Amino acid sequence: MFVLNQWYVAGFIWELQDRPLARTLLNQPVVLFRTGQGEVAALEDRCCHRSLPLSCGTLEEQGLRCGYHGLLFAPGGQCLDIPGQAKVPGKACVRAYQVAVRNQVIWIWMGQTADEPAHGEPPEIAAHDDPRYRFKGGVFHYQAPYQLIHDNLLDLSHVGYVHGKTIGGNARTHMEAPTRVSSQDRQVRVVRHMLDSLPPATYSAAWPFRGRIDRWQEIDFEVSHLNIFTGAVDAGSEPVDNPGRGGFHMRGFHGITPETDNTTHYFWTMACSSHPDMPDNLEDVYQQTAATFEEDRIIIEAQYRNMRQFAGRDMIDIHVDVGANRARRIIDALTAPQQTA
């Protein structure tokens, strides 16, 4: 089961252009669109007349018109117009989802009931509007359950083995890095420091390090997304736990939204700092980040196929699994009342 009464990432504002966007979220078929006035909306992807997906329709100034018989639906779900019929029945409506746009991320409220009001504002992704950074992102689709992606992002010890050509570096350094894990309520935090290490390819291409580096990884997990702050400074130049540290910064946003029980949408962005001597590093960082996440997708999908192949076989835990296990306990605790209900 999924955690309900929760904001989830539905997409990015730049995805909504001149046509509706179909997307299944938590097993719910949804159509996303933006009206002529710029209002962002999400409706159940089904016309209440003959059930054609509304995502097959067209956008108009006031809303979304069905592509079968032309019923026009407002962002609130009510039918505004039926061609050739003066009166619109009161029952001519479809479910509307509460949505909000913040920092160019589209959030959708997935309530336990259709009329459950949203609790507070969606999370802020501050790096998207921070003048120190520029960012770019995209969307991956995984043939795997969402919690396997949580596991992957909360355990960055794997990067030396999986991402040797981009953000990796020495694999043993990653596996042996001192790691601090803390948790409270719905959050898990993992902090790892790799001092006096060799810069990986992505870092060297984006920042003029003098030689060896002091590197950090700070992972903050919440139910719907993770923020991962990574970066490095020249070795010995300043403390890596200083909130105002300089050097090369990469702030990753990872919106992990279940599509179905066994498939997942992965919405991601990477915001990075730039050195005065290397001001145009965003495209290189973006391309290498996308390649890194594609490597993760291949690994996780292969892992899930094997988990199904060897269903019922025991798996062991090792020292790097602490953060992922805490996140799973949070999900279990939040979904337990729903299972009872």
Residue 341 pLDDT exceeds 70 = no
Report pLDDT for 167.
Answer: 78
Residue 120 lies in a domain: no
Residue 21 lies in a domain: yes
Same-domain status, 183 and 228? yes
- pLDDT tens, residue by residue, 41-93: 999 999 999 999 999 999 999 999 999 999 999 999 999 999 999 999 999 99
Amino acid, single-letter form, for residue 210: R
How far, in Å, CA of 123 to CA of 278, rounded?
32
Same domain membership, residue 144 and residue 56: no
Q: What average pLDDT does the segment 191-210 reach?
A: 93
Domain's final residue, options 110, 142, 158:
110
Q: Are residues 25 and 64 in the same domain?
A: yes
Residue 160 has pLDDT above 90, yes or no: no
Are residues 96 and 149 both part of a single domain?
no
Asked if residue 134 and residue 26 are part of one domain, the reply reads: no
Torsion of the alpha carbons at 54, 56, 61 and 62, rounded to the nearest 10: -10
Indicate if the alpha-carbon torsion angle 43, 47, 52, 57 is positive or negative.
negative
User: Do 130 and 70 reside in the same domain of the chain?
Assistant: no
C-alpha span between 157 and 186 (Å, rounded): 23
For 38-47, 101-110, 173-182, 194-203, which range has the lowest pLDDT when averaged over its residues?
173-182
**Residue 256 placed within a domain:** yes
Q: Are residues 260 and 153 in the same domain?
A: yes
CATH number (domain holding residue 39): 2.102.10.10
Question: What is the domain range of residue 202?
Answer: 126-338
DSSP one-letter string for 97-136: E-EEEETTEEEEEE-SSTTPPP-SPPPP-GGGG-TT-EEE
pLDDT of residue 322: 96
Q: What is the mean pLDDT of the chain?
A: 95
pTM of the model: 0.95
Provide, rounded to the nearest whole percent, the portion of the chain with pLDDT above 90. Answer: 87
- Domain total of the chain: 2
With a cut of 70, say whether residue 332 has pLDDT above it.
yes
More confident residue, 168 or 131: 131
Domain end position, chosen among 48, 76, 110: 110
272 located within any domain? yes
Is 95 within the bounds of a domain?
Answer: yes
Q: Is residue 121 part of a domain?
A: no
Asked if 232 contacts 214 with a C-beta cutoff of 8 angstroms, the reply is yes
- Is 24 among the domain residues? yes
156 φ/ψ angles, rounded to the nearest 5 degrees: -90, 10
Residue 115 lies in a domain: no
Whole-angstrom distance, CA of residue 56 vs CA of residue 65 = 9
Spatial CA neighbour of 99 closest among 76, 71, 131: 76
Same domain, 35 and 168: no
Alpha-carbon span 145 to 225, nearest angstrom? 14
Q: Above pLDDT 70, what percent of the chain?
A: 99
pLDDT for res 175: 81
Which residues face 107 on adjacent strands? 9, 100
CATH number at residue 304: 3.90.380.10
* Owner of token pair 């909306």: 41
Same domain assignment for residues 164 and 250: yes
**Between the CA of residue 155 and those of 183, 217, 236, what are the distances in Å?**
15, 10, 26
